[in-house]
């Protein structure tokens, strides 16, 4: 049986020495995050907002992050019928917290621009409005995105994670899945509209101080199953998750806590993984038995003078199998849209 500590505290996330006050999980953010309490150097502070909106044909991912000594403004467009993708990133040198990411996921907006990009992630009544523009996203084609997310679920995944060998490192993360999405994007002459009765969106909101070299696994799924919105958040490998995992299933916005998981990524004949072969996703309590059928491996690498390095595999596909809910109900999903990533970062 897995151990998962439900956080009961409130107030400041960090104590007076900059240490995480309570490790564990919650369904809504329990703590106040502030740079003033952080004991690490500003170059070690990592703040980011990541949004993903998808339907059966396309997915759009938007990243806005201030990682201390480098910032990242990034967009990806995935086209499932042709199994193609395009990712373009704009790097910002030495932002040191100046990019204006808010300290709360519930309020405060991102408003930022440079000569190439314009970004606005704004809270509006009932939801969030995302506006993103990047010149020369795909060769000479600009990318223009306008999205609105609403029907925010009652529960989300929140985790407070320390690192075992660095008491002043921590990860404060909220993932909101299964929001209704509408709007669209234009890439050059191409336009795609996301319709509210089909498209869903998620937010990955992260704040913290990390150690330099990390590997993580994260999967997110969201879709409609027999008239219900079903979502999954699964992950492991990042920090010390002894107090709690981030693994949850959601049905119509109600969370069902899961234990420890393994993605069962198949190995290739040589070294490494065969990311585009079927995966077998399981857990330690017999509540997950899922086959992940990949369609796109979104590969992205960053290497800035050997100091800032990122090797990313974000694999898009679909999940089929069984999820056992908290009351013992076996929920069958077939072709549930999902992404699952394996990322190694050094920064």
Identify whether the C-beta of residue 201 lies closer than 8 Å to the C-beta of residue 53: yes
pLDDT (tens digit, 9 = 90+) per residue, 182-211? 999 999 999 999 999 999 999 999 999 999
Residue 94 and residue 214: Cα distance in Å, rounded?
A: 21
- pLDDT of 306 above 80: no
Q: What are phi and psi of 247, to 5 degrees?
A: -90, 125
pLDDT at residue 2, as a whole number: 63
pLDDT at residue 322, as a whole number: 98
Mean pLDDT of 38-53: 96
- pLDDT of 345 above 80: yes
Nearest to 50 by CA among 177, 236, 190, 238: 177
pLDDT tier for residue 307 given thresholds of 50, 70 and 90: confident
Residue 253 and residue 271: Cα distance in Å, rounded?
A: 40
Identify whether the C-beta of residue 19 lies closer than 8 Å to the C-beta of residue 168: yes
pLDDT (tens digit, 9 = 90+) per residue, 243-282? 999 999 999 999 999 999 999 999 987 778 999 999 999 9
Q: Which residues contact 44 (CB under 8 A, 6 or more apart)?
A: 68, 169, 209, 210
Nearest to 312 by CA among 321, 302, 322: 302
- pLDDT of 318 above 70: yes
- pLDDT of 3 above 90: no
pLDDT tier for residue 1 given thresholds of 50, 70 and 90: low
Mean pLDDT of 316-344: 98
pLDDT tier for residue 310 given thresholds of 50, 70 and 90: confident
pLDDT tier for residue 124 given thresholds of 50, 70 and 90: very high
Nearest to 129 by CA among 149, 112, 113: 149
pLDDT (tens digit, 9 = 90+) per residue, 54-86? 999 999 999 999 999 999 999 999 999 999 999
Rounded to a whole number of angstroms, the CA Rg of the chain reads 19
Give how far the C-alpha of residue 171 lies from the chain's centroid of Cα atoms, to the nearest Å. 13
pLDDT at residue 271, as a whole number: 74
pLDDT (tens digit, 9 = 90+) per residue, 144-183? 999 999 999 999 999 999 999 899 999 999 999 999 999 9
pLDDT (tens digit, 9 = 90+) per residue, 236-253? 999 999 999 999 999 999
Residue 18, number of CB atoms within 10 A of its CB: 17
Q: What are phi and psi of 35, to 5 degrees?
A: -65, -30
Identify whether the C-beta of residue 335 lies closer than 8 Å to the C-beta of residue 327: no
SS3 content of the chain, % helix, strand, coil (to 5): 0, 65, 35
Mean pLDDT of 9-33: 97
Residue 95, number of CB atoms within 10 A of its CB: 21
Identify whether the C-beta of residue 158 lies closer than 8 Å to the C-beta of residue 9: no
pTM over 0.85: yes
Mean pLDDT of 19-45: 96
């Amino acid at each position: 049986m897995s151990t998962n500590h439900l956080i009961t505290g409130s107030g400041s996330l960090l104590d007076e020495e900059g240490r995480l006050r309570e490790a564990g999980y919650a369904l809504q953010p329990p703590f106040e995050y502030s740079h003033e309490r952080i004991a690490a150097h500003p170059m070690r502070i990592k703040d980011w907002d990541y949004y993903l909106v998808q339907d059966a044909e396309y997915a759009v991912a938007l990243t806005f992050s201030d990682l201390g000594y480098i910032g990242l403004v990034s967009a990806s467009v995935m086209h499932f019928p042709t199994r193609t993708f395009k990712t373009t990133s704009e790097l910002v040198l030495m932002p040191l917290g100046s990019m204006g990411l808010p300290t709360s996921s519930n309020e405060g907006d991102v408003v930022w621009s440079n000569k190439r990009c314009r970004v606005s992630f704004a809270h509006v009544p009932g939801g969030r409005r995302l506006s993103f523009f990047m010149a020369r996203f795909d060769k000479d084609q600009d990318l223009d995105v306008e999205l609105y997310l609403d029907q925010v679920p009652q529960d989300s995944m929140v985790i407070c994670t320390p690192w075992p060998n660095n008491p002043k490192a921590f990860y404060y993360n909220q993932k909101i899945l299964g929001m209704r999405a509408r709007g669209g994007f234009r890439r050059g002459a191409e336009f795609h509209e996301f319709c509210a009765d089909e498209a869903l969106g998620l937010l990955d909101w992260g704040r913290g101080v990390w150690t330099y070299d990390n590997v993580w696994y994260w999967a997110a799924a969201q879709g409609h199953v027999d008239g219900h919105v079903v979502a999954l958040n699964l992950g492991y490998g990042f920090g010390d998750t002894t107090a709690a995992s981030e693994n949850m299933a959601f049905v119509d916005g109600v969370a069902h806590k899961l234990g420890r998981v393994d993605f069962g990524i198949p190995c290739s004949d040589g070294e490494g993984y065969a990311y585009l072969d079927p995966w077998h996703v399981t857990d330690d309590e017999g509540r997950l038995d899922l086959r992940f059928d990949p369609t796109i491996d979104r590969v992205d690498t960053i290497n800035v003078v050997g100091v800032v390095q990122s090797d990313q595999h974000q694999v898009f596909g679909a999940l089929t199998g069984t999820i056992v809910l908290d009351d013992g109900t076996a929920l069958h999903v077939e072709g549930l849209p999902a992404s699952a990533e394996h990322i190694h970062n050094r920064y």
